[in-house]
Structure 1
Amino acid sequence: MTLVFEFLEKDLKQYMEDCNNVLSLNNVKLFLFQLLRGLAYCHQYRVLHRDLKPQNLLINQLGELKLADFGLARAKSVPTKTYSNEVVTLWYRPPDVLLGSTVYSTPIDMWGVGCIFFEMAAGRPLFPGSTVKDELMLIFKTLGTPTEQTWPGVTSIDEFKQYNFPPSRSESLAERCPRLGGDGLALLRQFLLYEVTGRIAAADAMRHPYFGSLGPAVLSLPDDVSIFTLPGISLCREHGRGGSSGGQSQSGARQRRQTLLL
């Protein structure tokens, strides 16, 4: 059996590297919207991606971003099933999963969206932990050690009690990523909530004021129509671009993976 897929020039990680990790804020917004659009489609049909990271987001020469690598994807069925907590690359794994949760739904993907959003805008990973404990410590140092007020039930989680994390106050995300501005930071905070049920859904995030400059037409496009068919929506030329925008890529094999048109 031979599977043939469209060719995409590079993934988001390589795109950022080619731009010296300084992306145009216009392009950050367009990539984030397309990521949300693809996830909203998946989540509508109760499909969890479970492995969101820049390497799994492919980009073609038009700037169309597509979800790839559904190898860890699962259908979220009813009644609720339990799943492995060994999912999502460590830097993009939500704290509930890091602490051993095996009962989760679509919010597992939204934490990763927040991490990718920050990385595109700031030019560096938000939580680059080397171990599970290190990852949790970076999260708690940035967002504050969770309490019953910020994460109801956290103090009854065995793994949380065993680690005995010291109390820490949250840092300012505005200082960590001043480029985002008010609406961008407000949306980022809605992705990075400890309480799973509080994280913004992909479909709701698409309607956030942060995307207001794209106009209302982006919300009514058919699922198989690119946002770049709309007048006024296009990628900006990246000033820090160091590599070629097309041609062969170092991750060519990876770019022939399963993709989902956004």
Structure 2
Amino acid sequence: MEKYQKIEKIGEGSYGIVFKAQNRTTSEIVALKRIRLDNEDEGVPCTAIREISLLKELKHPNIIALNDVLHTEKKLTLVFEYMDSDLKKFMDICGGDLDTFTIKHLLYQLLCGVEYVHKNKILHRDLKPQNLLISKKGELKITDFGLARTSSVPVSSYSHEVVTLWYRAPDILMGSRKYSEDIDMWSVGCVFGEMVTARPMFPGTSVADELLRIFKVLGTPIDETILKSLDTKNPSNYESSLSPHLDIASVG
């Protein structure tokens, strides 16, 4: 860590702490994502391994750049290019008053980044304003690939515990474990709507509430669509998360 001088803490989460720092040699400003290695038996978290492996391969103007990885016995630090803010903070600062040009400019960059990710057969699985970083120049870059996975690797099913609730597609909310790039595109649509309306599109408080909010705006899916989406072999995967009082047929 002697290579970098910490300036200030800019974020903290279950993964660890993020610092703004400066390269002592080049004076370059970077972001240090320090990941806690509390459990000696488990070693490096799988989310960190996944993020490192993917970002070493992904090189695009709208994808955050991983510059270096520093590993000691007790700490793992990822060195990223520094970005001034994220879309959530940017929208809060603007008071939700984003002009049409800014919205189009940011959405275009988001779509370019997502297209590149999908062309490389990767699903991000956690697109939300907090994971979209913005520079003072108006550059947007996708970050946090801890939940991402390669879609080209054959698996019987994916986890449905992905994507922050407000940006989660209906089929995942209903227990589907078989999905593709469409789950990222749903999240993109939610982010776009939030930029336009200055509020989250579907701010649900639970899985059942999230579904109700979506159905009230978009209507209910037809029976055939529901059957294709549900994990019919393991209905317990989604039944337990739905309210016993949720009458889908009455919503619309």
Superposed pair shares fold, TM > 0.5: yes
> What's the offset of the Cα at 1:151?
5.5
> What's the offset of the Cα at 1:83?
1.3
Q: Name the structure 2 match of 1:65.
A: 140
Q: Comparing both structures, which one devotes a greater share of its residues to strand?
A: 2
Which amino acid counterpart does residue 190 of structure 2 have in structure 1? Answer: C
Structure-2 change in CA distance of 1:59 and 1:165 (3 Å): same
Structure-2 change in CA distance of 1:133 and 1:60 (3 Å): same
Aligned residue for 1:4, secondary structure, equals strand
Match of 2:251 among 152, 158, 168: 168
What's the % identity of the aligned pairs?
Answer: 52
Which amino acid counterpart does residue 251 of structure 2 have in structure 1? Answer: S
Aligned residue for 2:142, secondary structure, equals strand
Q: Comparing both structures, which one devotes a greater share of its residues to helix?
A: 1
Aligned residue for 1:114, secondary structure, equals helix
Structure-2 change in CA distance of 1:130 and 1:41 (3 Å): same
Which amino acid counterpart does residue 61 of structure 1 have in structure 2? Answer: K
> What's the offset of the Cα at 1:156?
8.8
Structure-2 change in CA distance of 1:34 and 1:81 (3 Å): farther
Structure 1 segments, 4+ long, off by >6 Å, are: none
Ranked by relative contact order (alpha carbons within 8 Å, sequence separation 6 or more), the top structure is 1
TM-score by length of 1: 0.60
Q: How many angstroms apart in 2 are the aligned matches of 1:154 and 1:6? A: 39
Aligned residue for 1:63, secondary structure, equals coil
Gaps of 5+ in 2: 1-69, 71-76
1:82-120 CA distance string (max 9 Å, x none) = 111000000000000001111111111000000000000
Compute the RMSD of aligned alpha carbons: 2.1
User: For the Cα contact (< 8 Å) 1:31–1:65, is it kept in 2?
Assistant: yes
Aligned residue for 2:78, secondary structure, equals coil
1:171-224 CA distance string (max 9 Å, x none) = xxxxxxxxxxxxxxxxxxxxxxxxxxxxxxxxxxxxxxxxxxxxxxxxxxxxxx
Aligned pairs for 1:43-54 (under 5 A) are 43-54=118-129
Aligned residue for 2:205, secondary structure, equals coil
Structure-2 change in CA distance of 1:138 and 1:38 (3 Å): same
Match of 1:89 among 143, 164, 186: 164
User: For the Cα contact (< 8 Å) 1:48–1:74, is it kept in 2?
Assistant: yes
Match of 2:100 among 9, 15, 25: 25
1:14-37 CA distance string (max 9 Å, x none) = 000000011111111111110010
> What's the offset of the Cα at 1:79?
3.1
> What's the offset of the Cα at 1:147?
1.3
Q: How many angstroms apart in 1 are the aligned matches of 2:196 and 2:225? A: 26
Q: How many angstroms apart in 1 are the aligned matches of 2:183 and 2:131? A: 16
User: For the Cα contact (< 8 Å) 2:122–2:149, is it kept in 1?
Assistant: yes
Q: How many angstroms apart in 2 are the aligned matches of 1:136 and 1:4? A: 38
Number of residues of Structure 1 aligned to a counterpart in Structure 2: 169
Structure-2 change in CA distance of 1:17 and 1:143 (3 Å): same
Structure-2 change in CA distance of 1:26 and 1:149 (3 Å): farther
Aligned residue for 1:79, secondary structure, equals coil
Match of 1:143 among 206, 218, 239: 218
Match of 2:187 among 100, 109, 112: 112
Aligned residue for 1:91, secondary structure, equals helix
Structure-2 change in CA distance of 1:94 and 1:155 (3 Å): closer
Q: How many angstroms apart in 2 are the aligned matches of 1:155 and 1:104? A: 11
Aligned pairs for 1:70-219 (under 5 A) are 70-148=145-223, 153=228, 158=235, 159=238, 163-169=246-252
> What's the offset of the Cα at 1:152?
6.4
User: For the Cα contact (< 8 Å) 2:176–2:231, is it kept in 1?
Assistant: no
Aligned residue for 1:166, secondary structure, equals helix
Choose 1 or 2 for highest CA Rg: 2
Q: Does 1:14 align with 2:89?
A: yes
User: For the Cα contact (< 8 Å) 1:13–1:54, is it kept in 2?
Assistant: yes
User: For the Cα contact (< 8 Å) 1:144–1:167, is it kept in 2?
Assistant: no
